[in-house]
């Protein structure tokens, strides 16, 4: 029985430290969808985890936003491993039609 407990503890320790060493991801692209607090961008050069599109949550209480973000604007964001933006800023203030 002690072996089973030791294995369980080992898995718990590995689960806690599995995120260690992972850096937050910086993504940049054109905003193509805003749905409540979820922003979807079309990334440049297939950045990000989702190929050519990346979605992230902008938490109103603690995500730092610079400027008002609108559809068609180019933005840059630092996204943590949970998919929440630490910060998001407008890179190009000239709004382009979404999807182009």
More confident residue, 83 or 20: 83
Domain ranges for the chain, please list them: 23-92
Stretch 31-45: mean pLDDT: 90
Question: Hey, how many other C-beta atoms are within 10 angstroms of the C-beta on 42?
Answer: 16
pTM above 0.75, yes or no: no
Distance CA 67, CA 69 (A): 6
CA 77 to mean position of chain CA atoms:
7
Output phi, psi for 14, to 5 deg: -65, -40
CB 68 within 8 A of CB 93: no
| Closest to 87 measured CA to CA, from 78, 75, 99 | 78
Judge: domain 23-92, CATH 2.40.50.320. Answer: yes
- The model's pLDDT over 42-93, given as tens digits with 9 standing for 90+, comes to 986 655 555 588 999 999 999 999 989 999 999 999 999 999 999 999 997 6
């Amino acid at each position: 029985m002690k072996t089973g407990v030791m294995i369980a503890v080992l898995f718990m320790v590995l689960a806690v430290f599995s995120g260690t060493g992972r850096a937050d991801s910086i993504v940049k692209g054109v905003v193509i969808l805003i749905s409540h607090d979820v922003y979807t961008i079309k990334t440049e050069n297939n950045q990000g985890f989702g190929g050519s599109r990346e979605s992230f949550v902008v938490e109103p209480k603690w995500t730092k936003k610079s400027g008002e973000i609108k559809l068609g604007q180019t933005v840059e964001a630092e996204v943590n491993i949970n998919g929440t933006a630490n910060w998001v800023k407008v890179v190009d203030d000239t709004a382009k039609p979404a999807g182009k």
